Copies of this chain bind each other. A is one copy, B any other.
Amino acid sequence: MGKKEKLKIIPLGGLGEIGKNMTVIEYKNDIIVIDCGLMFPEEEMLGIDIVIPDITYLLKNKDKFHAIVLTHGHEDHIGALPYILKQINVPVYGTRLTLGLVENKLKEHGLLKDVDLKCIKAKDVIRNGEMSVEFIKTSHSIADSVALAIHTPAGTVVHTGDFKVDFTPIDGDVIDLARFAELGKEGVLLMMADSTNVERPGYTMSERTVGQTFQNIFKQAKGRIIVATFASNIHRVQQIINEADDYGKKVAISGRSMVNVVDVAYELGYLNIPEGVLIDIDDIDKYSNSEIVIITTGSQGEAMSALVRMSTSEHKKVNIIPGDMVVISASPIPGNEKLVSRVINQLFKKGADVIYEDLADVHVSGHACQEELKLIHTLVKPEFFLPVHGEFRHLKQHGQLAQKLGMNEENIFLMENGAVLELSHKNAKITGSVTAGQVLVDGLGVGDVGNIVLRDRKHLSQDGILTVVVTISKETGGVIAGPDIISRGFVYVRESEDLMEQAKEIVKEALVKCEERQVTDWATIKNNIKDSLRSYLYEKTKRKPMILPIIMEI
Contact B464 A461 (CB under 8 A): no
Is A334 on the interface with B (CB-CB < 8 A)? yes
Contact with B along A344-362 (1 / 0, CB 8 A): 1100110000100011000
Which residues from chain B contact A208 at a C-beta distance below 8 Å?
A: none
Query: Would you list which residues of chain A between 465 and 513 have a CB under 8 Å from chain B?
Result: 465, 467, 469, 471, 480-482, 484, 486, 488-492, 495-496
Binding site for B on A (CB under 8 A): 16, 42-43, 46-47, 199-200, 334-335, 337-338, 341, 344-345, 348-349, 354, 358-359, 391-393, 396, 442-445, 448-450, 452-454, 456-465, 467, 469, 471, 480-482, 484, 486, 488-492, 495-496, 540-543, 546, 548, 550, 552-554
Chain B nearest CB, measured from A472 CB (Å): 10
Contact B489 A457 (CB under 8 A): yes
Contact of A46 among B454, B461, B488 (CB under 8 A): B461
Chain B nearest CB, measured from A325 CB (Å): 14
Chain B nearest CB, measured from A60 CB (Å): 21
Contact A444 B488 (CB under 8 A): no
Give the number of times this chain occurs in the complex, counting copies: 2
A46-B43 Cα distance, complex, nearest whole Å: 12
Chain B nearest CB, measured from A178 CB (Å): 33
Q: Which of A16, A200, A471, A495 has most chain B Cβ within 10 Å?
A: A471
Contact A456 B489 (CB under 8 A): yes
Main secondary structure on chain A at its contact with chain B?
mixed
Contact A463 B199 (CB under 8 A): no
A239-B481 Cα distance, complex, nearest whole Å: 68
A554-B462 Cα distance, complex, nearest whole Å: 34
Chain B nearest CB, measured from A434 CB (Å): 20
Contact of A462 among B396, B452, B457, B482 (CB under 8 A): B457
Which residues from chain B contact A449 at a C-beta distance below 8 Å?
A: 491-492
Given A448-B492, A491-B453, A349–B462 Cβ distance below 8 Å?
A: no
Given A393-B354, A453-B464, A467-B467, A488–B341 Cβ distance below 8 Å?
A: no
Contact B481 A548 (CB under 8 A): no
Given A467-B550, A542-B443, A457–B461 Cβ distance below 8 Å?
A: yes
A271-B274 Cα distance, complex, nearest whole Å: 68
Contact A338 B341 (CB under 8 A): no
Contact of A484 among B391, B480, B552 (CB under 8 A): B552
Given A469-B469, A488-B548, A457–B448 Cβ distance below 8 Å?
A: no
Contact A488 B464 (CB under 8 A): no
Which residues from chain B contact A492 at a C-beta distance below 8 Å?
A: 448-450, 452-453
Which residues from chain B contact A490 at a C-beta distance below 8 Å?
A: 453
Which residues from chain B contact A348 at a C-beta distance below 8 Å?
A: 392-393, 396
Instruction: Select from chain B the residue with minimum beta-carbon distance to A458.
Output: B461
Contact B450 A457 (CB under 8 A): no
Given A393-B344, A453-B464, A481–B471 Cβ distance below 8 Å?
A: yes
Which residues from chain B contact A550 at a C-beta distance below 8 Å?
A: 467, 469, 484, 486, 550
Contact B16 A469 (CB under 8 A): no
Contact A445 B491 (CB under 8 A): yes
Contact B488 A543 (CB under 8 A): no
Instruction: Select from chain B the residue with minimum beta-carbon distance to A336.
Output: B337
A553-B444 Cα distance, complex, nearest whole Å: 37
Chain B nearest CB, measured from A352 CB (Å): 10
Given A444-B540, A540-B444, A393–B461 Cβ distance below 8 Å?
A: no
A471-B479 Cα distance, complex, nearest whole Å: 13
Contact of A460 among B354, B452, B460, B495 (CB under 8 A): B460
Contact B541 A443 (CB under 8 A): yes
Instruction: Select from chain B the residue with minimum beta-carbon distance to A332.
Output: B337
A341-B553 Cα distance, complex, nearest whole Å: 52
Which residues from chain B contact A488 at a C-beta distance below 8 Å?
A: 456, 460, 465, 546, 548
Given A464-B456, A488-B548, A554–B480 Cβ distance below 8 Å?
A: yes
A380-B465 Cα distance, complex, nearest whole Å: 55
Chain B nearest CB, measured from A361 CB (Å): 13
22 contacts between A and B (CB under 8 A): A16-B345, A46-B462, A47-B489, A199-B358, A345-B393, A348-B392, A348-B396, A444-B543, A445-B491, A445-B541, A448-B491, A449-B492, A453-B464, A453-B490, A454-B489, A456-B489, A459-B489, A467-B467, A481-B554, A488-B546, A488-B548, A554-B554
Chain B nearest CB, measured from A444 CB (Å): 5
Contact A481 B541 (CB under 8 A): no
